[in-house]
Structures are given as C-alpha cells and as structure tokens.
Amino acid sequence: MTKIILEDLGQDFLWLTVNDDGRVIDAGPFQGNIWRGAYIPLQVVRVGERCPIHHPPHIKFGYLRYRVTEIDRESNDENGIKDET
C-alpha cells in the first residue's frame, strides 16, 4: 500500500491510498467513494509534481490539480518505508 499526500488548496481530499497495482482504494478525509477504483501509475508519481491519475469517464490519463507533498510506501514490517523524493 502507498499513501499519497497532496498539497492542501482547500479541496475535499488530501490523500489517496493506493494498492500495489495502482488502484485507489481510499481517499480522504472526504470523497473516498468518488476516487475509489481510479488508477495512479505509482512508478511516475513524484513529490513536488502534480499527481497523475486515470479515472474514466472523468479523467483520461490526466493529472490532479494538486501537487504531491509526500509519498508513504508502507511495507509488511512495522517500520514502513517513507519516500519523500
């Protein structure tokens, strides 16, 4: 699982939780039901850049308006791995 934290520009969602296949499984604090099922290509997500997303029919291989501020890659151990690059 990977948690992508977005810059706060007053939008209803500040983070997206994505599984290892790139599917959004949750978003919050609001709009989780809207973003579930969207695809985020994790291999190209970078801190400081807009978040790429594919969520037909609303967004077709586009970007969110919000930049990524943090990427938290959780592993199976209790420590997890945090990547801010």
Instruction: Give the residues of the chain that fall short of pLDDT 70.
Output: 75-85
Q: What is the pLDDT of residue 61?
A: 87
Residue 40 domain boundaries: 2-79
> Does 66 reside within a domain?
yes
Number of separate domains in the chain: 1
What is the value of pTM for the model shown? 0.82
> Does 84 reside within a domain?
no
AA identity, residue 85: T
